[in-house]
Amino acid sequence: MKTFEPDDDDTQLRSAGWAHTIYVQKLPGAAGAEDPKSYLAQNQGYIDRLFALLAREGSPYVDQVWGLLTTLPANKKMQADIETLSIPTGDTV
């Protein structure tokens, strides 16, 4: 029986053929493991560093950093901060 690792691509999986039964089983140590994007999004230190890179005048990494940030799940702290924003009304705008 061939074991496929999580980083095996779908080309290798397709080569197994449909004549076989394929069982998917999590490997030991993978239980509770987060995917890299979720880990990055929930690590406030990393998020702070990425936004610091965005704020740098003339940074050559702005497009790459913004592209990365837009693919990440919502950061819990930032989401909570946005949810507690108040909307100015009247003359205070």
pLDDT-wise least confident of 7-11, 33-37, 47-51, 59-63: 7-11
13-35 pLDDT, tens digit per residue, is 556 555 556 666 666 655 455 68
Report the pLDDT value the prediction gives residue 30, as an integer from 0 to 100: 52
CB 12 within 8 A of CB 43: no
pLDDT at position 10 is 57
Q: How far is CA 66 from the centre of its chain?
A: 13
Quote the tokens at residue 87. 């909307």
d(CA 72, CA 36): 9
Q: How far apart are CA 26 and CA 67, in angstroms?
A: 30
* Residue 85 banded pLDDT, cuts 50, 70, 90: confident
